[in-house]
Each structure stands twice: as structure tokens, then as C-alpha cells.
Chains A and B, each alone.
Chain A
Amino acid sequence: MSEVRTPLFRLAKREAMSREKIWAIRVGSIIIALILGCIPIMLTGNNPISAYAVIVQGSVSRPIYIRQTVKIAIPLLGCALAIAPCFKMRFWNIGAEGQITMGAVAATFFALNFAKTIPSPLLLAIMFITAATAGGLWALIPAFFKAKWNTNETLFTLMMNYIAIGIVAWLQGGPWEGRKGSQLIPMFDDAARLPEVFRVHCGWIIVLLLVVLMYFYMNKTKQGFEIAVIGDSVNTARYAGMNVGWIIMRTMFISGAISGIVGFMIVSGANYTLYKGVANGVGFTSITVAWLSQLNSFAMIAISAMLAILEKGSNTLQTRLQVPASIADIITGILLFSMLASEFFINYKLIFRGRDKKEVNA
């Protein structure tokens, strides 16, 4: 339909843009975000350049810092991988937070009850599998209602997060409480702790393995193909003979399972215990990681690393320059805003009045 009163410019979907240009825009948006990030730093009376230097130093300058940064990046990356297939399917799963938590609950159950009776490798394997199953089943609930009654999945998965967290709060103060009145679940025995490789829990190996697996799953397998087709057009999927409801449920199970594994890695590799803040917002932040990576597994490594550096570096910033560590969230937010905004210039173009007279009507 043609414009009523031709405005100064109008929008049109952009057809194609060269790869170099796209990356130039994205890199540009990161640079702009870092420049904007100077404002809050300056408010604290610090020099932004030296602050950024501290962030980089504090996160990657020494092996021990790198290890801590990697520890932050592991769950972010793992969870972003979990979210990718859902978002590819245009199923807005924002329930990773809860799926992580339920995975952690399942793992903790075995860690608390069988650490003395089952040998460590077997125990860890059981924890791994049950965590995946628990996360998967937790994700299956909203998926079932979506497939059956088209229940809004965004809102449903969101609610499920807090139900999961509430369950942990109850466990913490109730059945699993260690010392009475402590409101804490006891620390895991060594048998239930993930072994370290290069002095970081071996979760990093699992996650990197998942990166490769997810890449192949999404791009090379039949199931990945089904997901991509549904994300593009449900009608085409039906035309091609796909059972859409079933695929939604299966994909959500897989997604929840991976989040569950992330939960297992957090309790067994990093915290050695369970508390209600176990997911600590990772489920939300990882959504932005997945989205800004265009759901590409390998790009997620870069973005989750970037956010992890910011977070770890900001802790250093706090100790060295007394800048509140929340500066990490602010700069992360600015970074996300900037990158989200930049997608507009990749997907749309502005057509100014007077140009492009020929309007082809579809």
C-alpha cells in the first residue's frame, strides 16, 4: 500500500548487505557502547580509559583472572546454547533461569544423598543425567500447553522461573537444610564436585563440546532442520509433513536439558552447594547472548566472553578504584541496547522522499 502523504523518508526491508558491512556495523555498535559507558565511569570520578584498562587487566592479565573469567562465561555460554533452538523456532523461552535451577536441584539431590555410597565418576554421571532430565521436564510443561492450547509461552516460562526458585528456597530452609537455622544446604562432598582441568572445573570442556554439538545439531541434523522450518513458517512445516506440536515439545525438552546441565555445572563445579540464587540471572543474560549472536554457536563464545570480562573486570574495578561493581550491569545494558539498535541498520534501510519512485506492489 502506498503512503498517504509521502513522509520525508520511509522504511523498507533491506535486501542484502555484505558480510563486511554487517560486521562493521556490529563492531561499531560495540565501540559506541563502550564510549557511552564512559559516562557512568566518569560520574565516579575516574578516568574511563584507565577504568577500561583495569577491567581488561582484572579479567585476562593473569591466569588466575582468566580462570575466574572463564568460570563466569561457562554458564552464560551453556545457557545461550540452550536457548538458541527455541528462539530459532520462534518459541520465546525465557525460562532458562528456572530450568537451570531445576537441573541444579536434581544434581544436588544426588550430591547430598549418595556422595558416600556411589563412586565419584558414576555419581557425577548420574547428577549430569538427572539434571538434564529435570531441566528438560521443567521446560516441557510450558511447551506442552503451547502445543496443545497455544498458551503464551513467554509469560508461562517466565512464571516457571520463580516457581523453581521458590522450590529451592523451601529446600534451603526445610528438608535439605544443613545446620538447623542456617538456611543453607551443606557443601558437597568432594565426590560430587566436578574435577578441574587446567584448574577450572571441567564444565568448560562440556560447554565447548556443546558448542560444537549444537552447531551440528542446528545445521546438520534432521531435527535442526525441522526447527528452522518451523521458525520460518509453521504452514510450510505442516506441508512438509512435520508434526509441529511434537517438535515444539521435543525442542523445549532439549533446551531445558541443556539449561539443566548448566545448573549441574554451577552447583557441582563452582558453588559446591545449592541456594536459591543459583541461576543468578544467567538465564536472562544468556538470552541476550544468544540473540546477539544471531543464534550462531561460535559467535556466542565471543559474546559470552565479552560479558564475562566485563563482569570479572568490574569486580577488580570495585576493589581498585572503588567503582561500584554494578557498573558491569550498566555497561552490559548499554552494550546490549547498542547492539540491538544496530540490527535495525542491518535489516532496514531508510528511503528518502524523491528517491525510488517505482514502488512495486506485491
Chain B
Amino acid sequence: MTMIITLIAAAVTFGTVLMYGTLGEILTEKSGNLNLGVEGIMYMGGAFGLFGAFYYEKAAGAAASGPLAIIIAILSALMAGMAASLIYSFITVTLRANQNVTGLALSIFGTGIGQFVGEYMRVREGGYVALSNNLKNAFSATIFPDFMVKIPVVGQILFSHTVFFYLAVVLAIIMFLFLKKTKYGMYLTAVGESPAVSDAAGINITLYKYLATVIGGGISAIGGMVYIMTTAGCVWNHEGLSGVGWLAVALVIFCIWRPLNAIWGSVLFGAMMIMYLRVTIPFIPTEIYKILPYIVTVIVLIFTSMKNSRDKQPPASLGLNYFREER
């Protein structure tokens, strides 16, 4: 029992990272932009998030406040992700370059920047860059009072997580409501399904694509920051972060582009990624667990295309650029 509870807690920790990456990419893909730069964006988010928090603490010294450090880390990551996606949007939406290639270029660029910032800080600060324990705890503490966490079973499962997890859940719900219940969410979906129809209906395609991609990139970047500040323990760790962005892209497919699915989907993926540390299933080598997320994603992909169920398809214009005169 305790093992399952610790497994769930650990799955949520890693799943939170994925949830941001995925929610951001869902928003982006809803506009028809397939941004394969998530890996790079999350690197940038991680590096700049740490950068922001570290220099805040350096400036504030002992007076540094946890909540403020968290806000600064979120904002730094957000800005970094938004800047990166702005480059992507400009090249694909305005200049109409191939989305796959641009996304991959962003991945290369972003991992480079992330690494660069990480190393730059290390060199500048002459070695180890980490937050004080005080702030570290702020990042990994839960927002619920102690007695709630201590409720048997439920406390650990529901109330023991970091503020980032609850924020991500709220974000997923907001995104769900935005896409389902608001006019602008509906317009965004329409843009991703058929830019031509949306254009004819008088919707500003370019604006929607830019906004969704830039905000989406910002959200994804927060995921990178969350990884560095929680799982990695407030130290730059590029090896741990590598591949997380791609996993987020897989999760988008697994969630069939629905934000609410991302909540449980990310915890499930998180569980599959960390399961090898805690669970052994006979005959299945633990290393194989790590490819399970990709395998189930492939299966989802195959089944939705075989059944051709229209509700579960990628946004119809995903990966294609829109050019009005081509009608």
C-alpha cells in the first residue's frame, strides 16, 4: 500500500512536468501549428526559471521569499517559452516555412540556449549553482496544511503535491472551459480545423495562431522549470530534462488533444516513466517500462486512424500552413 502511494506521489511529481509541456502543446496544436520545438522550449524554461530564481535569491539574500521566488521562476520560464515560440510563429505563420523543420530547429536552438544558460551560470558563479534549502523547500512544499497531508492514504494522494501540480490542474480546467465554452476557444478550434473556413467567417487566422502558439510555448516552458526546481532539486540537470519535451508531444496525442485528459494522462505517463525504480513486473524488464508511454501513444494513433473516429483526430490542418491565395 505505501508503495503504491509513494508511486503515485512520484508519478504526480514527474507528471506535473509533463502536464505543463502537454497543455502548452495542446493549445499550440489546436491552432494547427505542430511545434516540435517543445523539447527546446522546456530546456529554455528550465534554465531561465532557475536563472530567475537564483539571481532573485542572490539579490534578496536571506530575505528571499518563497512565493516570490516561485512567481519569478514561473515568469522567467514563461517569458523564455514565449520568446522561443514567437520565433517559431514568425517563421511558420508569417514566413510560411515548413513546420516540422522549424520545430526541429527550435529544438536544437532551445536545448542549446538552455545548456548555455545553465553552463554560463555555473561558470559565472564559479561552480555549483543551487538555491538555498529554504527556497528549495518552498518549491517542493505543498500548499495544504499539515493535518490534511497526514490524512491516511487520501492525504498523500491528494494533498501532498507541489503548488505547481494544483496550478496545472487549474490550468487544464481553464483550458477545457476556454476551448469548450467560450467563443474564442471555439474560434481557435475552428482555425486549427480549417483556416480557410475560419478566414471566410472573418476570423483573424494569424492572430489566433500567434497567440495560441506563443502562450502555449510559455506554458510548456513552465514544465521545464518545474522539472529543474522540483525533480532535479533546483540544480541545472540537462540529462534529466532530455526527452521530456518529446514525451509531452506524445502525451498530446495520447490525450487526443483534450486538456482534461492531460490531468490523468500525465500522471499515468509519469507513473510509467518512474515505475522502473519501484515496481518489478515479472518477465518485463524495467527499462522497457520507459517505452510504454510511446507504445500506448502509437496504439492510440493507430486506433484513431483505423476507426477514423472524427472526434479523436488531430486538428485537421495540423502541420499545414495557410496561404489565402492557394484556394
Please state if B97 and A1 are interface contacts (CB–CB under 8 Å). Answer: no
A174-B285, A324-B123, A340-B98 as given contacts; A158 in contact with B249, CB under 8 Å: yes
* A344 contacts B by Cβ under 8 Å: yes
Say yes or no: A340-B102 contact (C-beta < 8 A), given A151-B302, A152-B305, A169-B290. Answer: yes
The interface stretch among A159-167, A195-203, A258-266 is A159-167
Q: Does A341 contact B (CB under 8 A)?
A: yes
Q: Which residues of A contact B98 (CB under 8 A)?
A: 291, 340
In the complex, A239 has a CB within 8 A of chain B:
no
A287 within 8 A of B: yes
Q: Are B305 and A150 in contact (CB under 8 A)?
A: yes
Given A149-B308, A326-B119, A330-B113: 9 more A-B contacts, CB < 8 Å: A149-B306, A151-B305, A156-B301, A158-B246, A167-B291, A172-B287, A329-B112, A330-B116, A347-B96
A13 to B327, CA, bound (A): 13
Q: Which residues of A contact B314 (CB under 8 A)?
A: 152, 155
Q: Known contacts A11-B325, A340-B98: does B112 contact A333 (CB below 8 Å)?
A: yes
Q: Which residues of A contact B246 (CB under 8 A)?
A: 158, 161-162
The distance from the CB of B303 to the nearest CB of chain A, in whole angstroms, is 10
Cβ contacts A to B, 30 pairs, < 8 Å: A145-B305, A149-B305, A151-B305, A151-B306, A154-B100, A155-B314, A156-B302, A158-B246, A158-B249, A159-B298, A162-B246, A162-B294, A163-B294, A166-B288, A170-B285, A170-B287, A170-B288, A172-B287, A174-B287, A284-B107, A288-B105, A292-B101, A322-B123, A326-B115, A326-B116, A329-B112, A329-B115, A333-B108, A337-B91, A340-B98
Q: Is the CB of A288 within 8 A of B101?
A: yes
Residues in B with CB closer than 8 Å to A161 are 246
Q: Which residue of B lies closest to A332 (CB)?
A: B108
**Is B295 in the interface zone, CB < 8 Å from A?**
yes
Are A329 and B108 CB-contacts (below 8 A) given A159-B294, A173-B287, A340-B91?
Answer: yes
Residues of B within 8 A of A333 (CB): 40, 105-106, 108-110, 112-113
Most A-side CB within 10 Å, residue of B87, B105, B115: B105
CA distance A337 to B90 in the complex (A): 10
Binding site for A on B (CB under 8 A): 34, 36, 40, 87, 90-91, 95-98, 100-102, 104-116, 119-120, 123, 243, 246-247, 249-250, 253, 285, 287-288, 290-291, 294-295, 297-298, 301-302, 305-306, 308, 314, 318-319, 323-325, 327
Which of B108, B291, B314, B324 has the most CB atoms of chain A within a 10 A radius of its CB? B108
Q: Is the CB of A327 within 8 A of B112?
A: yes
Q: Assuming the A-B contacts A174-B287, A284-B107, A291-B98, are A151 and B301 also in contact, with contact meaning beta carbons closer than 8 angstroms in the complex?
A: yes
Q: For A149, what are the chain B residues with a Cβ–Cβ distance below 8 Å?
A: 302, 305-306, 308
Residue from B40, B110, B249, B302 having most chain A Cβ neighbours under 10 A = B302
Does B302 contact A145, Cβ atoms closer than 8 Å?
yes
CA distance A163 to B40 in the complex (A): 20
> Contact between A1 and B327 (Cβ–Cβ < 8 Å)?
yes
Measured in the bound complex, the distance between the Cα atoms of B243 and A347 in whole Å is: 34
A47 CB to closest chain B CB (Å) equals 17
Cross-chain contact of A159 among B40, B110, B250 (Cβ < 8 A): B250
- Complex Cα spacing A343 to B123, Å: 38
Contact status B287-A169, CB under 8 Å: yes
Q: Complex: how many Å from CA A160 to CA B243?
A: 13
Residue of A nearest to B249 (CB): A158
Smallest Cβ-Cβ distance to A40: which chain B residue: B116
A341 near B305 with CB under 8 A, answer no
Measured CA separation A151–B110 after assembly (Å): 29
Q: Are A287 and B101 within 8 A (Cβ)?
A: yes
Known: A284-B104, A337-B109, A344-B95. A324 touches B115 (CB 8 A): yes
Residues of A within 8 A of B290 (CB): 166, 169
Are B298 and A163 interface neighbours, CB within 8 A?
yes
**Nearest-Cβ distance from residue A166 to partner chain B, whole angstroms:** 3
- Within A117-158, the residues touching B (CB, 8 Å) are 145, 149-152, 154-156, 158
- Please determine whether A340 and B97 come into contact, CB atoms closer than 8 angstroms: yes
- Min CB–CB distance A104 → chain B (angstroms): 16
Docked complex Cα distance between A214 and B96 (Å): 28
- Bound: A78/B104 CA distance, A: 18
Known A-B contacts A145-B305, A167-B291, A174-B285; A337 and B104 likewise in contact (beta carbons under 8 Å):
no
- Report if A166-B91 is in contact (Cβ < 8 Å); known contacts: A155-B253, A326-B115: no
Residues on B with C-beta less than 8 A from A340 are: 91, 95, 97-98, 101-102, 105
The yes or no answer to A43 lying at the interface (CB within 8 A) is: yes
- Complex contact A154–B319 (CB within 8 A): yes
Contacts of B301 in A (CB 8 A): 151-152, 155-156, 159
Q: In the complex, A257→B152 CA distance in Å?
A: 55
Q: How far is the CB of B196 from chain A (nearest CB, A)?
A: 10
Contact A44–B120 (Cβ < 8 Å): yes
When chains A and B are docked, how far (Å) is the Cα of A170 from the Cα of B318? Answer: 34
Q: A145-B302, A155-B314 are in contact. Are A343 and B112 (CB under 8 A)?
A: no
Q: How far is the CA of A160 from the CA of B101 in the complex (A)?
A: 18
Given the contacts A151-B301, A333-B110, A94 and B97 also touching, CB distance less than 8 Å: no
CB contact between B319 and one of A92, A160, A167, A169 (< 8 Å): that residue = A92
- Measured between beta carbons, the chain A residues less than 8 angstroms from B306 are 149, 151
